[in-house]
Amino acid sequence: MSNSPVVSRTAPIAIAPKPAAPHVSAASSASLSGSTNLRQKYQQEGGSGRFDLSRGSMSSVDASAPHSLASTPSGPCDSCRRLHLKCTTMSDDEDACVPCQRNGSECSLVLSPQPRKRKLNREATDNGFVKRSSPIRADNRRRRAPNSTISSPAASSSFLEDMANVGGPTLMKRTLGMQNDRYSQYIGPTTDFEPSLINLSPFNPEDESLLARGTLRRVGPDDTFLMLLDSDTAGYEHVLQDVDEIEKIVAPHGRSLIDLYFSVVHPAFPIIQKGVFLEKYDRSYREFSPPLLAAIYLLAINWWHHSADLAQYPKPDVAALEDLVRSTLDDAMHRPKLSTIQAGLLLSQRPDGDQWAPTAQLVAIGQELGLHLDCTAWKIPPWEKGLRKRLAWGLYMQDKWGALVHGRPSHIFPSNWAVQPLAEKDFPDVDWDEEDMEEKKEVETGRLVFLCMMRLTKILAEILDTFFTIQAQQAVTNAGSQGTQMVLSLAKPIQLKLKEWFSGLPTAIRMDSSYSVKGVPGGRLSSIGFLHLAYFATEITLHRRIIRSLASASAPAADSYLQHICRNAAKARLISAMDFVNRLSPNHLQAFWYFASKTNFALIGTFGSLLWATSPGKEESEWYRRRLGEYRWTLSVSSKQGEGKGLTAFAMTMLDISTGLLKKLPEKPDLSRSASSSDVMGMNSMAPPLSMSGPPMSRGQDWFSSEGFSGLPSAEVSEAVSPRSLSDSSDDEMYGN
C-alpha cells in the first residue's frame, strides 16, 4: 500500500450547538449573508463586551475570553448600578434584567448567547460579515463580498447571531421603528400589496418574510410593514460624518447640553426614552440619528446661561447647527424612523422653529411609520409601544395646535386615528433615581402636564372641527338669523367639557403648586404655564366664534339680552386670561414653553380687540381700550425676563397691529346707563384691584395716545380668579340652563 502524502491542516473551528434563542431563519440569514450593504465594523474592547465606535474594525472573537458568560453574574448590571435600581431577572433564559427590559436598555448581565467556541481569523473578520450598527465614514468604507468559507445559510445565521449579540442583546433589532440599519414603511389596505396575499407569505418565527422588494415584518393580524435597508437611501454615506460634525460644534459641552435638556425640556415633553438615550450617549454619540442629536442640542442651547457649567463659556455656533439639522433631517426623511419624528417635534418647539409645512411632512412621516394605528397588540417591545403612543399624541398635538395658530386645515382626522389615549403605563418606568424623590416628583408631574395637554388638545380639535372647517362656517352662514342659536347649541357640550377639564386638573399642576424643574441656579423653572395658557387659548377660540356670530350682518339686532350674556361670558374669559399672564413669574417665563404659546399670548390681545371692536357703546369700548393697555404693559415687563422675550414680544407686535386697525373704527355712541356700561361696572365690582410691579395711574389716564400705548399700568387690574367663578352664571344663561 502506498503511503499517502502528509497534508497539513489548519486549526479546526469549534462550533457549539446552536441555541434555541434568539433564532434566525435560514431565509433571513441568507438575505443578510448575501447583502453587500452590511456596513458597520466594531472594535471589541478586551473582555468588556463594548465597542469602540470610533474605529472601523472588529477584533477576533475569542471563545475563551472571560465574557463568555458561562456563569451567573454576582452583581447588578451597569445600567441598574448607575440608576440605583434593583437588578433582577425572571429566569436564566432572559436576554436582560427586568429594569433593562422595561426601559429598553442594553443589559450588561448578558453580553452574548452561549459561545460557539469559534475563532475567526483576521481575513474572515475583515472580509466577511460585520455587525449591523451605525455607519462609518464613507471614505473608509468598502463594499465587502461574503467570505466563501461561511457562505451557507446555516453558517451565516450562526455568524450573524454572534456578531449581533457581542456587547449585549441588541434590543433595537427587535423594534419596528428604531433599528440601526433598516427603516419601515406601513403597508396600507389599498397599495400594490394585497393583504390577503401577504398573509400567504412564509413568515419565520420573527414574523419576517423575505421578498424581492424588501422584508415583510408582520406586527399583528392586520398590520404589516416593509423593512428596507438604510444603505440604499440618499445621504446614507454621510451619516457618520454629519454626526461627528454636530458633536464637534458643541464639544466639549455635549453632555452638559444633554443634561440641560433632560432637566428643562424633557419632564413636560417626554418624547424621548431617557434611559435608552443616556445609555447610548455614554457609549458613543455616533449611535444617534444626526438630526435628533442636533435638535436636542439646539433646544437646550436656549437655556445656556441658566446652566452654571455652561454660562462661563461662549455659546456654540447655532447657525452651523441649524444648517446641519436641516440637511440631515431632509436626508432622514428618506429612511424615516421614530427618531425622525422626535427630531421634527423638538425643532418645532424652538422659538422660531414652528412652520406649517414641516408639520404636514411630520404627519406624513408618522403615517409612514404607522403612528396613527393602535399598536397595543403589536409584536414589538412593550417600551416601544409606550414611546410610539407618546410620539403619536405629540404629533397629534403638533397638528392641532399648528392648525389653530396658523389658521390651516388639520391633517389628522378621527376617521383615520386609532391611537389609544395615553395611560401611566405608557411612560418609562425607569426615568429617575429612586433615591431622589424630588426628581421623581418632577417626572411624575411632567407626565401629568403631557397627559392633560393631550386631553385639552382633543377638546381643541373638536372646536376646530365643529366651528372652523369650511363646511362648518358655511352651515352657520346658511342658518341666517338662527346662526347664533346654532353656534350656542353646538358650543354648549364643548364648554361643559372645558369646565370639566379645568375642574379636574390635579393639584400638582395648578398655578399655585410648587412644581418646577431643577438644574438651574437661582430657582426652579416651572413648565406648567404653557398648559394653562393653552386652556385660555382654547376658551378664547370658542368664544371668538360666538362673538363673531353675534356681530354678523344676519344676527337679529333686537336680541340685546342674548348679546348681554354672551359678551359677559366672553369678558370673564378675557379678564381671567389677562390675570393669568400677570401672575407669571420669571421662573415660569424662563421655563420650557410649548411651540403654540407665542401665538396663544397674542390671541388674548386679539380677543380683547375683537370685544373692543364689537362693543355697542363708547363706555364699553373705552373699558377694553384700557384693559388692552394694561395687558401690553404686562407683556412688556415679561419681555425682559430672559427666555420669555420671544413669547411676549410677538404678542406685543400683534397687539399693536390690531389696536392700530381699531383706530379706523367709527366712534361708538355714548350710551350712558346702558347695559354696556352697567356690565363694565359690574365686572369691575367682581374683580377687586390687583397690585402690579409698577406705578398705578388714575382711571382717567389715556392709554392710547397717537403714538400707541403709554406702557404704564392702571389700577383697573382685576384680582386673579378662577375662570369659572366669573363665567358660570353667564354660561348658564347663554346656553339656556
**What pLDDT was estimated at residue 119?**
35
* Distance of alpha carbon 241 from alpha carbon 246, whole angstroms: 9
**Angle between helices 560-583 and 529-551 in degrees, nearest 10:** 160
Lowest mean per-residue pLDDT among 191-195, 397-401, 453-457, 701-705: 701-705
CA distance 126 to 57: 7
End-to-end CA distance of the chain: 115
Instruction: Indicate the pLDDT class of residue 84, thresholds 50, 70 and 90.
Output: low
When pLDDT is cut at 50, 70 and 90, the band that residue 523 belongs to is: low
Rounded average pLDDT over 29-43: 38
Q: Phi first, then psi: give them for residue 463, nearest 5 degrees.
A: -65, -45
CB 201 within 8 A of CB 216: yes
Contact indicator for 363, 345 with CB cutoff of 8 Å:
no
Integer Cα distance of 652 and 636 in angstroms: 7
Exposure of 225 in the CB half-sphere (CA atoms within 13 A) = 26
Element (H, E) at 631: helix 618-638
Query: How far is CA 197 from each of CA 201, 207, 208, 226, rounded to the nearest angstrom?
Result: 7, 15, 15, 14
Helix, strand, coil fractions of the chain, as percent rounded to 5: 55, 5, 45
Average pLDDT over residues 93-118: 56
- Residue 339: pLDDT band with limits 50, 70, 90: very high
Q: How many angstroms separate the CA atoms of 455 and 452, rounded? A: 5
* Angle subtended at Cα 348 by Cα 134 and Cα 589, rounded to the nearest 5 degrees: 120
| Residue among 150, 166, 152 at smallest CA distance from 40 | 166
Q: Look at residue 82 in the predicted model and tell me its pLDDT.
A: 67
> Where is average pLDDT lowest: 272-281, 367-376, 566-575, 696-705?
696-705
B/e letters for 347-370, b = 16+ CB within 10 Å, e = fewer, are: bbbbbebbeeebbebbbebbbbbb
- Length of the chain counted residue by residue: 737
Task: Say what the pLDDT of residue 387 is.
Answer: 95
Quick one: average pLDDT of 339-349? 96
What CA–CA distances, in Å, run from 477 to 482, 484, 595?
Answer: 9, 10, 33
User: 3-state secondary structure string, 272-310?
Assistant: CCHHHHHHHHHHCHHHCCHHHHHHHHHHHHCCHHHCCCC
Judge residue 662's burial from the number of C-beta atoms within 10 Å of its C-beta, 0-12 exposed, 13-18 middle, 19 or more buried: middle
Please state the φ and ψ torsions of residue 568, each to the nearest 5 degrees: -65, -45
123-128: long-range contacts (C-beta < 8 A, 24 or more apart)? Answer: 123/147, 124/149, 124/150, 125/57, 125/58, 125/59, 125/60, 126/57, 128/159
Helix (H, G, I), strand (E, B) or coil at 730: helix
Higher-pLDDT residue of 664, 463: 463
Listed in sequence order, the residues at least 6 apart from 91 whose beta carbon sits closer than 8 Å to its beta carbon are none
Residue 117 has pLDDT above 60, yes or no: no
Rounded to an integer, the average pLDDT of 312-339 is 95
Place of cell 353667564: 730
Burial of 671 (0-12, 13-18, 19+ CB in 10 A): middle
Cis peptide before 723 (omega within 30 of 0): no
What is the model's pTM?
Answer: 0.74
> What is the share, in percent, of the chain residues with pLDDT greater than 90?
48
What is the pLDDT at residue 77? 80
Asked which of 327-341, 523-537, 542-556, 595-609 is least confident by mean pLDDT, the reply is: 542-556
Least confident span in 179-188, 444-453, 519-528: 519-528
> What is the residue type of 496?
L
CATH tag, 72-110: 4.10.240
pLDDT surpasses 70 at 451: yes
Other Cβ atoms less than 10 A from the Cβ of 435: the count is: 9
By CB atoms closer than 10 A (0-12, 13-18, 19+), residue 100 is: buried
Supply the pLDDT for residue 355.
86
Q: What count of Cα atoms within 13 Å lies in the side-chain half-sphere of residue 329?
A: 24
Residue 652, pLDDT above cutoff 80: yes
Residue 334's pLDDT band (cuts 50, 70, 90):
very high
Give me the residue spans of the domains in the chain.
Answer: 22-69+111-169, 72-110, 182-229, 236-426, 468-734
Q: Between residues 180 and 594, which one has the greater pLDDT?
A: 594
- The one-character DSSP state at 267 is G
**Where residue 276 falls among pLDDT bands split at 50, 70, 90?**
confident
The vertex-426 CA angle with 339 and 535, nearest 5°, equals 90
pLDDT(667) > 80: yes
pLDDT at site 18: 37
> pLDDT tier at 675 (50, 70, 90 boundaries)?
very low
Q: Give the count of alpha carbons within 13 A of 680, CB side only.
A: 23
Residue reference for cell 361670558: 569
Cβ atoms of residues 203 and 209 within 8 Å = yes
Q: How confident is the model at residue 154 (pLDDT cuts 50, 70, 90)?
A: very low
In order of 198, 496, 548, 566, 735, the CA distances from 485 in angstroms are 53, 17, 12, 11, 9
More confident residue, 728 or 708: 728
C-alpha dihedral sign at 370, 374, 379, 384: positive
What burial class does residue 316 get, using C-beta atoms within 10 Å of its C-beta: 0-12 exposed, 13-18 middle, 19+ buried?
Answer: buried
Note the pLDDT tens digit of each residue in 197-212: 888 889 999 999 999 9
- The more confident residue out of 340 and 638 is 340
**What distance separates the 2 farthest-apart alpha carbons in the chain?**
133
Phi, psi of 587 (to 5 degrees): -70, -25
- The pLDDT of 37-57, averaged and rounded, is 36
Residue-level pLDDT at 703: 30
Lowest mean pLDDT among 9-23, 323-337, 577-591, 698-712: 698-712
Read off the C-alpha cell for 663: 383706530
Lowest pLDDT segment from 285-289, 362-366, 552-556: 552-556
Taking the CA atoms of residue 632, residue 635, residue 636 and residue 640 in that order, the dihedral angle to the nearest 10 degrees is 180
Q: Is pLDDT larger for residue 21 or for residue 264?
A: 264
Confidence at 643, pLDDT banded by 50, 70, 90 = very low
Peptide bond into 252 cis (omega under 30): yes
Show the cell assigned to 7: 497534508
- Closest-CA residue to 386 (of 428, 344, 449): 428
3-state secondary structure of 186: strand
The four Cα atoms 473, 477, 482, 483 give a dihedral, to 10 degrees, of: 30
Q: Is residue 356 scored above 80 in pLDDT?
A: yes
Q: Which residues contact 313 (CB under 8 A, 6 or more apart)?
A: 253
User: Is the pLDDT assigned to residue 24 strictly greater than 80?
Assistant: no
pLDDT at 3 over 80: no
458 versus 83: the higher-pLDDT residue is: 458
Based on C-alpha coordinates, what's the Rg of the chain?
A: 31
Q: What's phi and psi for 210, nearest 5 deg?
A: -80, 125
Determine phi and psi for 40, rounding to 5 degrees. -85, 140
E strand map for 47-92: 51-52
Q: Is the pLDDT of residue 180 over 80?
A: yes
Identify the pLDDT of residue 279: 85
Amino acid type, 185: Q
Q: Report, as an integer, the average pLDDT of 531-537.
A: 98
For 412, the 3-state DSSP assignment is coil
pLDDT in tens, 378-426: 999 998 999 999 999 999 999 999 999 999 999 999 999 999 999 888 9
Tally Cβ neighbours within 10 Å of residue 191. Answer: 11
